[in-house]
Amino acid sequence: MFIRRVPFDHPDAVKLNDEVQAEYHERYGDGGDATFLHPSDFEPPNGVYLIAYDAFERPVATGGWRRQDANGEGNQDGDAELKRMFVVADMRGRGLARRMLAALEEDARAAGRIRMVLETGTKQPEAIALYTSSGYEPCEKFGFYRHYPESRCYAKAL
């Protein structure tokens, strides 16, 4: 597997984003993640978007972070918000999400961010297990879903 930096609107990113949105719909029964994201959110130095490719150059995992500072949605100065972590179904269980998470943390740290934050939901227990086993701890809710009872927010010092 190799990881490549791509724009958020790259065709492979769009393909994987469509897949993750379909999975959110399957798990939560709604239209997917309604958090507003713009391609410029993931342009360095304000963020990054990464795709992992297998040996056949098939996109198999994705993730990004975007700069957040103190705002009306509960973020703090120095936050890097993790977004769109996803591994295609036939590649799960191989450590790809953990490798992607480490690459994103390293990039955010290099960009001067001091805390990685994320929001996930109760119907994603494998995501919660990944994050808590990687040192993330529950934090004050933030973002678009902060008022939803199924929402769970986590943070880790970088």
CATH dotted code for 2-157: 3.40.630.30
Burial class for 11, CB neighbours closer than 10 Å (0-12, 13-18, 19+):
exposed
Q: What is the pLDDT of residues 13-32, one digit of tens each?
A: 999 999 999 998 899 887 77
Look-up: residue for tokens 């390293």?
106
Q: What is the pLDDT of residue 32?
A: 72
One-letter identity of residue 2: F
Element (H, E) at 27: helix 11-28
Q: How far apart are CA 35 and CA 58, in angstroms?
A: 27
Look-up: residue for tokens 């990004």?
64
Check: CB of residue 97 under 8 Å from CB of residue 131.
Answer: no
Provide the residue ranges of all domains of the chain, joining segments of one domain with +.
2-157
Q: What is the pLDDT of residue 82?
A: 98
What's the CA angle centered on 13, arms 147 and 35, to 5 degrees?
A: 15
Q: What is the pLDDT of residue 146?
A: 92
Element (H, E) at 59: strand 59-68
Give 26's contacts (C-beta < 8 A, 6+ positions apart).
none
Q: What is the pLDDT of residues 94-125, one digit of tens each?
A: 999 999 999 999 999 999 999 999 999 999 99
Query: What pTM value is reported for the model?
Result: 0.94
How many CA atoms lie less than 13 Å away from 24 in the CB half-sphere?
Answer: 19
How many CA atoms lie less than 13 Å away from 58 in the CB half-sphere?
Answer: 8
